C-alpha cells in the first residue's frame, strides 16, 4: 500500500513539473490592414522585447449569396528588413463561410487560401524567415464544425505546412461536444469572452469571473496549446441608445470630451469628429480598458488551470503603437516571463 501511495505521489509530482513552461516564445499578433510598415515605436518594441514571431493577419474571408467566398481586409504590411522574424500567415474566416458549403466549395476555398497566402508571402515578406506554419482563425460552431475541420485537413494536404488554429474557451472546455480540430497545435484565446452588446456591466474583452468559469479546473487538451492575451482597449459608441461604432484609437482625445456616469460608461459633453466619426452631445460610450493588473491576474488563472508543454508561445494582441502606449516595455516583458515563474 505504501508503494502505491509513493508511486501516486511521485507521478503527480512529475506530472505537475511537466506543466512548467521552461521556454516562453514571445510573440505578437499584427491585425492592422492599412499600414505599409511598422512605425518606429513598433520596431522598437519588437527589438527591445526580442520578439521573434509575428502572427500577421493576411486577409479575412467573408461570404454572401451573390459572390460566394471572397477575401477582404487584405494586409498592406511589407517586411523586408526584419530577417530575424518568423512570420505566421493568419487568416480570419467568418463562420458563415462554412454554414452551407459542400465539399467541392471547401476544396476550392482551401486552394484559394493557400494560393493567396503564398502570393502575399512572396510579394511582401520574401526576406523574412521561411514560412512553415499557417494559422486559421474561426469561431466555429456545432453546425459548422464538420465543414471547418474538413477545410483544415484539406489546407494541410495542399499547403504541406504546419496548420494551427485559434481555440476559444468554449470548445476548449467542451472538446467532447465541439470536437478537436485536426491541426498541429492551437492557440487558446483568453479574451473576447462575452458578447459586447449583451452585457453592459462587464468588460467583454476580459472579465476575470468569466475566465474562471471556463478555466475552473486543470485540464490537459489533446493538442499542444499556445496562449493569446489582450493588450488592447476599445470604446463602444451608442447613439440614441443603439450601438453605433467601435473606436480603437484616440481614446485620450475622447476622454477629454466626456464625463463618467457609471463604471466603464461615459457621456459625450462636446460635439467632435474623432476617428472619422461624429460624436454628438449625449452619446454614450462604454470604455473597455485592459490594465496590467487584470492581465497578470488572468495569467495566474491560466497557469493554475491549463496544462502546457515545456516550450510554449505566448502571443499578445496586438502590435499597435497606440494600444501598447498603455504599457511600458518592462510590463509587456513581464506578461511573457510570468508564465515561466
Say how far apart CA 247 and CA 234 lie, in whole Å.
Answer: 6
Q: Is 91:58 a contact under the CB 8 Å cutoff?
A: yes
Q: What is the pLDDT at residue 127?
A: 67
CB neighbour list of residue 172: distance below 8 Å, 6 or more residues apart: 188, 214, 219, 221
The mean pLDDT value for 282-304 works out to 97
Say how far apart CA 204 and CA 53 lie, in whole Å.
Answer: 27
Q: Smallest Cα–Cα separation from 290: which of 217, 228, 218, 341?
A: 228
In three-state secondary structure terms, 172 is helix
Say how far apart CA 270 and CA 282 lie, in whole Å.
Answer: 8
Say how far apart CA 292 and CA 297 lie, in whole Å.
Answer: 9
Res. 7: pLDDT tops 70: no
pLDDT band at 129 (very low <50, low <70, confident <90, very high): confident
Q: DSSP letter string over 137-191?
A: E----TTTHHHHHHHHHHHHHHH-SEEEEEE-HHHHH-HHHH---SSSEEEEE-S
Q: What is the pLDDT at residue 4?
A: 38
The mean pLDDT value for 120-125 works out to 87
88 strand-pairing partners: 55
Q: What is the pLDDT at residue 2?
A: 40
In three-state secondary structure terms, 111 is helix
Residue that the C-alpha cell 518594441 belongs to? 45
Domain segments of the chain as ranges: 22-232+293-340, 234-288
70 strand-pairing partners: 62
Say how far apart CA 147 and CA 142 lie, in whole Å.
Answer: 10
Mark 301-317 as b/e (b = at least 16 C-beta within 10 Å): bbbeebebeeebbbbbb
pLDDT band at 82 (very low <50, low <70, confident <90, very high): low
CATH topology of domain 22-232+293-340: TIM Barrel (3.20.20)
The mean pLDDT value for 55-79 works out to 94
Q: Is 31:57 a contact under the CB 8 Å cutoff?
A: yes
pTM for this predicted structure: 0.93
Burial class (CB in 10 A: 0-12, 13-18, 19+), 321: middle
Which tens digits make up the pLDDT trace of 221-249? Answer: 999 999 999 999 999 999 999 999 999 99
Q: Is 228:188 a contact under the CB 8 Å cutoff?
A: yes
Res. 339: pLDDT tops 80: yes
Of all residues in the chain, the percent with pLDDT exceeding 70 is: 93
Cis, peptide link before residue 318, omega less than 30° from 0: yes
The mean pLDDT value for 63-89 works out to 88
The continuous run of DSSP H or E covering 53 comes out as strand 53-64
Res. 180: pLDDT tops 80: yes
Residue that the C-alpha cell 476617428 belongs to? 275
Instruction: Name the grid cell of 97.
Output: 463561410
Amino acid at each position: 500500500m505504501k508503494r502505491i501511495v509513493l508511486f501516486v505521489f511521485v507521478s503527480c509530482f512529475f506530472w505537475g513539473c511537466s506543466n512548467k513552461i521552461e521556454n516562453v516564445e514571445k510573440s505578437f499578433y499584427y491585425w492592422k490592414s492599412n499600414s505599409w510598415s511598422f512605425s518606429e515605436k513598433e520596431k522598437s518594441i519588437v527589438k527591445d522585447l526580442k520578439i521573434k514571431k509575428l502572427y500577421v493577419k493576411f486577409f479575412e474571408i467573408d461570404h454572401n449569396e451573390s459572390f460566394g467566398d471572397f477575401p477582404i481586409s487584405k494586409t498592406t504590411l511589407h517586411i523586408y528588413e526584419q530577417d530575424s522574424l518568423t512570420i505566421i500567415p493568419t487568416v480570419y474566416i467568418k463562420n458563415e463561410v462554412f454554414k452551407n458549403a459542400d465539399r467541392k466549395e471547401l476544396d476550392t476555398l482551401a486552394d484559394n487560401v493557400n494560393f493567396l497566402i503564398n502570393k502575399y508571402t512572396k510579394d511582401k515578406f520574401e526576406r523574412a524567415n521561411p514560412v512553415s506554419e499557417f494559422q486559421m482563425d474561426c469561431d466555429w460552431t456545432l453546425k459548422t464544425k464538420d465543414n471547418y475541420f474538413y477545410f483544415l485537413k484539406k489546407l494541410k494536404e495542399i499547403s504541406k505546412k504546419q496548420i494551427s488554429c485559434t481555440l476559444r474557451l468554449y470548445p476548449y472546455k467542451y472538446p467532447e461536444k465541439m470536437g478537436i480540430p485536426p491541426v498541429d497545435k492551437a492557440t487558446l484565446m483568453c479574451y473576447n469572452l462575452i458578447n459586447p452588446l449583451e452585457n453592459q456591466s462587464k468588460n467583454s474583452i476580459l472579465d476575470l469571473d468569466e475566465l474562471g468559469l471556463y478555466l475552473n479546473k486543470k485540464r490537459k487538451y489533446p493538442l499542444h496549446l499556445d496562449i493569446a492575451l489582450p493588450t488592447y482597449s476599445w470604446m463602444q459608441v451608442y447613439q440614441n441608445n443603439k450601438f453605433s461604432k467601435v473606436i480603437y484609437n484616440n481614446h485620450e482625445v475622447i476622454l477629454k470630451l466626456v464625463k463618467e456616469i457609471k463604471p466603464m460608461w461615459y457621456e459625450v459633453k462636446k460635439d467632435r469628429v474623432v476617428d472619422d466619426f461624429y460624436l454628438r452631445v449625449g452619446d454614450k460610450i462604454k470604455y473597455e480598458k485592459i490594465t496590467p493588473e487584470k492581465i497578470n491576474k488572468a495569467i495566474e488563472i491560466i497557469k493554475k488551470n491549463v496544462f502546457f508543454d515545456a516550450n510554449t508561445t505566448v502571443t499578445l494582441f496586438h502590435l499597435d503603437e497606440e494600444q501598447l502606449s498603455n504599457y511600458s516595455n518592462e510590463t509587456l516583458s513581464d506578461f511573457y516571463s510570468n508564465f515561466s515563474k
